[in-house]
Amino acid sequence: MTLEALISSRAKLPERLYLFKSCVAGTFYPGIERSFRFILNSLNVDYFDDPSQSSCTGFGVHCGMVPPQTNLTLNARNLTLASESGYTNVVCTCPTSYANLKECVNELSDTSSRAAVNDVLKQVGLEYNGGVTVYHAAEVLYVIKDSLAERAKSSLSQLKIATHHGCHYTKVFYDQVIGGLWEYPHLLDDICTTFSATLVDYSERSLCCGMGFTNLMSTNDYSAVTSLRKLESILADKPDVIVTMCAGCQLALDRFQKKYERRLGYTAPVLNVSQLVAILLGADKTKDACLQFGTINTGSIVNKLEAL
């Protein structure tokens, strides 16, 4: 059952969410998770922020530093913590965590894989028995977007927005994308238009942000070239802000934009959708949304929002 169907069947906001924290978001853009918490708190959504949760190690896996079996066992522990807490709707702010955890859930449905993992988990007094479903935070915002718009203290009516959907959300479990299809997702677009935003379309919409994990960590050359191509396409129509759903995408589009600022001739701040929605709900731009961690100045969009 999709999250949308789940919420529709209850006819109310999602309940008992297990907030799965991201190492990349927490390190570079803490406002992503602080903003998502602000949104959940604003709607009195019941969620669990588990201090025992570890990184999903997705970054390490994609860089070839963490073996697949280690990744599977570690995430079986994370999923078991969620199951035993009673908060079985795991919500990730990071598409890499989202895809990694969903892949682990699928692999753990195999009896032999589960037995091998549980043989390790028993050493720490745990046993994986399933029963956990994984979602992305943007899916939650998408499903409750109308309720969020009703509570908004300002709108996006004066802003032109370009969206970028993370590859690990749209292209790994491509058949489970909420809001459009993986070839042309409009999950973020629909959230933004609910707040009256004007959307900017661009030719390189389906192109990766350029992060590429190993490429970014090694020479940077391929990542930089890919990101530049993406940014040139996005910035051609001069959007006020670029909205993402991934801290890694935000990192690439934010930092490489600063690197190529003179060549691009125009810049637009990059925000996670949770940061943008939280600001619209009245979140503190420094304490909650943590806009100060962005490389591209956000003053222009803040002024436009405050003028409404």
Q: What is the pLDDT of residues 58-102, one digit of tens each?
A: 888 888 889 999 999 999 999 999 999 999 999 999 999 999 999
Residue 11 has pLDDT above 70, yes or no: no
Q: Is 259 exposed, middle or buried (0-12, 13-18, 19+ CB in 10 A)?
A: middle
Residues 295 and 152 occupy one common structural domain: yes
Asked whether the beta carbons of 184 and 199 are under 8 A apart, the reply is no
Tell whether 92 and 195 lie within a shared domain.
no
Q: Which residues pair with 136 in a beta bridge?
A: 92
By the 8 A CB rule, do 101 and 90 touch? Answer: yes
Q: How many domains does the chain divide into?
A: 2
Q: Considering the chain, what is the average pLDDT of its residues? A: 91
Q: Are residues 28 and 114 in the same domain?
A: yes
Which residues have C-beta within 8 Å of that of residue 5, sequence separation ≥ 6? none
The rounded distance, in Å, linking the Cα atoms of 90 and 136 is: 8
Residue 212: CB atoms within 10 A of its CB come to: 20
Lowest mean per-residue pLDDT among 47-51, 140-144, 223-227, 264-268 = 223-227
| Domain's final residue, options 73, 102, 137 | 137
Give the residue-averaged pLDDT of 138-160: 94
pLDDT reported for residue 1: 47
Q: How confident is the model at residue 207 (pLDDT cuts 50, 70, 90)?
A: very high
Do 150 and 298 lie in one domain? The reply is yes
Has residue 14 got a pLDDT over 70? no
**Mean pLDDT across the stretch 204-221?**
78
The pLDDT value recorded for residue 260 is 93
Looking at the structure, do residues 170 and 56 belong to the same domain, yes or no?
A: no
Residue 7 has pLDDT above 60, yes or no: no
The mean per-residue pLDDT over the stretch 152-176 comes to 93
Does one domain contain both 244 and 278? Answer: yes
132 & 154 share domain:
no
CA proximity to 146, closest of 8, 239, 6, 302: 8
| Domain match, 107 and 154 both | no
250 pLDDT band, cuts 50/70/90, is very high
Closest by CA to 275, choosing from 188, 146, 182, 216, is 188
Confidence check: pLDDT of 9 > 60: no
| Residue closest to 85 by CA, chosen among 123, 126, 137 | 126
Domain span including residue 186: 144-306
Q: Which of 137, 166, 190 is the endpoint of a domain?
A: 137
Percent of residues in the chain assigned helix, strand, coil, to nearest 5: 50, 10, 40
- What letter represents residue 35's amino acid? S
pLDDT at 292 over 60: yes
Amino acid letter, 301: I
Q: Which residues of 248-257 are buried (b: 16+ CB within 10 A; e: fewer)?
A: bbbbbbbbbb
Domain end marker among 107, 137, 167:
137
Q: What CATH number does residue 31 fall under?
A: 1.20.1050.140
Does residue 95 sit in the same domain as residue 10? yes
Q: Do 124 and 164 belong together in one domain?
A: no
Q: What gap in Å lies between CA 89 and CA 6, rounded to an integer? A: 11
With cut-offs at 50, 70 and 90, classify the pLDDT of residue 212.
confident
Query: Do 75 and 104 meet the contact criterion of CB atoms below 8 Å apart?
Result: yes
What is the arithmetic mean of pLDDT over 118-144?
A: 96
Residue 300: pLDDT band with limits 50, 70, 90 = confident
pLDDT on residue 128: 97
151 and 291 share a domain? yes
Return d(Cα 135, Cα 76) in angstroms, integer. Answer: 16
Q: In this structure, are 104 and 182 located in the same domain?
A: no
Question: Which of 53, 40, 50 shows the shortest CA–CA distance to 140?
Answer: 40
Q: Out of 28-32, 172-176, 254-258, which region has the weakest mean confidence (pLDDT)?
A: 172-176
Q: Write the CATH number for 226.
A: 3.40.50.11810
Residue range 113-126: mean pLDDT, rounded: 97
User: If we measure between CA atoms, which residue out of 5, 8, 31, 24 comes closest to residue 269?
Assistant: 31
Q: Are 145 and 196 in contact (CB under 8 A)?
A: no
Q: Is the dihedral of CA 149, 154, 155, 159 positive or negative?
A: negative
pLDDT for residue 307: 62
